[in-house]
Structure 1
Amino acid sequence: MERHYGMDWLRIGAFALLILYHVGMVFVPWDFHVKTAAPADWVAIPMLFTNAWRLMLLFLVSGFASRMLLAKSKGLSGFLRNRNARLLIPLAFGMAVIVPPQSWVELAGKHDYAHDYWWFWTRDYFRFGALDGIVLPTWNHLWFVVYLWVYTLALGVLLLFPIRLRRLFDRVFGGVGALWVPLVYLMLFQVLLFRRGVETHDLIGDGVAHLAYFPAFLFGFGLAGSRVTMLAFARWWKPAAVLGLAGYVAVAGVEAMWPGRALPLAWIKDGFAVAREVQTWASIAALIGLAELYLNRDHPWRATLTEAVFPFYIIHQTVIVLGEYALLPLRLPAVAEFAILVAATVAGCWLFYLTARRIGWLRPLAGLRPR
């Protein structure tokens, strides 16, 4: 299959926004492993610009990339072997080595855990139980890798059945249906039948999230083989962008009027839920259209950034948590703290990636292809 550089750039941008979003989690009152000394309610307003659609976009572009990988693999078995190695090895390494500092910082900062990190890692982390309500060991932000692996296995099962749906996919999504059909689906399953709440990221008890992310993954897989649908997104990106911005304005307006944990009236909650789903799919549709129209071209940096995004994802949250834990005693102004944390996170991610790509045994642990 012909490579679509625009979707590569979209994947790179989605992961970059995710890293910046997780830096923002330090400064917003929402729950996170470590917080700045004085989280501010207003930070939620810019955070909500990507909150609704960032993860669904990641699963969609992952499904798109999966079809490209399948086309280059030696059959379905080769594709699944590749995916198992590229996802499970860094997941195991991440849970054993990368994630533990996050749990230690959370215990030390929020629960007055008295022991040093070495004691925690050797005595408490692998307890396979809870410590002050924190389950150990854990995967924290690597839940995305777990879900992606499970969705890939489910895709493999579906591909065992010789059902050709390309014409149906083109017919349903090849026009304005690319915009409204997924939106109707989200309204039905995320608002009417089930109320989208806080995601658990525990795989088993996260059913409503699966109803959003697994179809997005499958949609991305189908999109990789449908030029007519890509052209539909290019044609309808402007109305989609208007809808997405309107959804964001509504969501941000509710947050501005009822900040933090303040609970608005029931009809306002319903309007917030509808606006959030409109913002979700309309924003994704507009971004895909822009990727098709303006980003489908190569650049010398593209290959490096495409390779770097997964190692960046693996390490970034640990860098953020440790960085903020080190900055807290300095009591810096919030602007300076944010700027230092962003710079430290970018530097830490690049250091991890550049080190891993040069060391043969570290490559698969960081999610890179073996030499």
Structure 2
Amino acid sequence: MERKHYIDNLRWIAILLLFPFHTAQIWNGGEYSGFYIWSHTNNFMYAFSTAVYPWYMTLLFVIAGISSKYALKKRTNKQFIVERSKKLLIPFVFGVLFLVPVMTYIAEIFFNGYTGSYINQYILFFTKETDLTGYKGGFTPAHLWFLLYLFVISMIALLVIQIQRKRFPKLCVDKFSYGMLILLFIPEWLMLYVLNIGGKSIGQFLMLYLTGYYILSEENILQKLKQYRFISLGLFLISVSAYTYLYCFGNMRNELGTGLFVFFGWTGILTLLGVGQLYLNFHTKLSEYFSHASFPIYIIHQPVLVVVGFFALKMSVGITIQFLLIALLSFTATIVIYEVVGRIPYVSMLFGIDRRVK
């Protein structure tokens, strides 16, 4: 089967987008809007992060579902489980124990005026009462929630797939019209309320994973998305404009806003899959590098960014310079760390790096 390089490219591009996205969080919509450090509200940064959030994580779950379709054609169930454990579960446990406390240490200093040692803060990390965000200190899975969710969802989906293969072996889902594809945002919206933990729904992401596996991996469906890409783009641009304005400046926090949030994210996925087939289906040394590095970059990037941001905010320079310094320096430092740990036996596995990949 010919590899769809645009799927790989969409994944690493979305992950690299986390550098400007999480940097913008430092100037998001209020001290308690959610990040480990905060300067003040900047409307452009607030709008930017609001416009990115609804589609980039959902896209990653859809891509994971599509990728698992191809993976299970070449791997046994046991091989799939072992691979996912090495890539997701081991880095999650390691990251929560050794990477995430770095961010909560910074948060304790920044928001709570903490003056104790890192070791004492490490004890606080496991004992302090917390809302699981860690934005003001205390235990949190932080950005590594994605690894845990993806592992759990992968295992649930594997069970669903095995049942489907036995009970409904001739399941056909490639006849969806484009209009039906658009309307799939409705079941996603409904599933948003299933096992929603801190605003991150296992039900929603499982739905997206299975949609990627069963529907958006089908060639007929992908051709429809390419054919109707301009309609998807139009719906995406209208919904992103409406949602961003109403959320940031209209204080929209109701059920209609939630529906618009889901619709906006879903049309973004359809647009990217349609447009990506035309413009992102390439393979270069750079794209291959970031395809292999994307998950380790995801694991490493946020602790680095929070530390860089903590010191950058002390500099007497404008927002633009601070933003560029934080995004570029954290990106550079993340790549350096990736290159270093990737060369250390056993340690590389803790960061989800496959040392067999050249």
Q: Distance in 2 between matches of 1:217 and 1:131?
A: 30
The 1:125–1:46 alpha-carbon spacing in structure 2 relative to 1, beyond 3 Å, is: closer
- Checking the alignment, whether the CA contact within 8 Å between 1:111 and 1:132 is kept in structure 2 is no
Long gaps (5+) in structure 1: none
Corresponding residue of 2:109: 108
Where 2:129 maps in the other structure, the secondary structure is strand
Long gaps (5+) in structure 2: none
Corresponding residue of 1:200: 198
User: Is it true that 1:327 corresponds to 2:312 in the alignment?
Assistant: yes
The 1:255–1:157 alpha-carbon spacing in structure 2 relative to 1, beyond 3 Å, is: closer
Q: Distance in 1 between matches of 2:34 and 2:107?
A: 11
Q: Distance in 2 between matches of 1:76 and 1:278?
A: 34
The 1:58–1:131 alpha-carbon spacing in structure 2 relative to 1, beyond 3 Å, is: closer
- Checking the alignment, whether the CA contact within 8 Å between 1:68 and 1:224 is kept in structure 2 is no
- 1:252 Cα deviation from its structure 2 partner: 2.5
Measured on the aligned residues, the alpha-carbon RMSD in Å equals 2.5
The 1:78–1:327 alpha-carbon spacing in structure 2 relative to 1, beyond 3 Å, is: same
Q: Distance in 2 between matches of 1:256 and 1:92?
A: 35
Q: Distance in 2 between matches of 1:350 and 1:199?
A: 31
- Checking the alignment, whether the CA contact within 8 Å between 1:60 and 1:216 is kept in structure 2 is yes
2:222 corresponds to which of 219, 226, 230: 230
Corresponding residue of 1:13: 13
Where 2:346 maps in the other structure, the secondary structure is helix
- Checking the alignment, whether the CA contact within 8 Å between 1:166 and 1:226 is kept in structure 2 is no
User: Is it true that 1:314 corresponds to 2:326 in the alignment?
Assistant: no
The equivalences for 1:273-292 within 5 A come to: 273-292=258-277
- 1:79 Cα deviation from its structure 2 partner: 0.8
The equivalences for 1:126-205 within 5 A come to: 126-127=126-127, 129-130=128-129, 134=134, 136-161=138-163, 162-164=166-168, 167-172=171-176, 175-177=177-179, 179-189=181-191, 200=198
Q: Distance in 1 between matches of 2:182 and 2:313?
A: 46
The 1:124–1:299 alpha-carbon spacing in structure 2 relative to 1, beyond 3 Å, is: same
Where 1:25 maps in the other structure, the secondary structure is helix
Identity between Structure 1 and Structure 2 (%): 22
- 1:178 Cα deviation from its structure 2 partner: 5.6
TM-score under structure 2 normalisation? 0.89
Aligned length: 348
The equivalences for 1:1-371 within 5 A come to: 1-28=1-28, 29=30, 30-36=33-39, 38-73=40-75, 75-121=76-122, 123-127=123-127, 129-130=128-129, 134=134, 136-161=138-163, 162-164=166-168, 167-172=171-176, 175-177=177-179, 179-189=181-191, 200=198, 209-223=201-215, 225-255=217-247, 257-258=249-250, 263=251, 269-371=254-356
- Checking the alignment, whether the CA contact within 8 Å between 1:19 and 1:313 is kept in structure 2 is no
Q: Distance in 1 between matches of 2:174 and 2:188?
A: 20
Residues 150-194 of structure 1, C-alpha deviation per residue, up to 9 Å, x if partnerless? 00110221233224467521123xx3146323123245555xxx5
Residues 47-106 of structure 1, C-alpha deviation per residue, up to 9 Å, x if partnerless? 222121111101111112222222232x11111111112111111111111111111111
Q: Distance in 2 between matches of 1:171 and 1:367?
A: 37
- Checking the alignment, whether the CA contact within 8 Å between 1:311 and 1:349 is kept in structure 2 is no
- Checking the alignment, whether the CA contact within 8 Å between 1:166 and 1:222 is kept in structure 2 is no
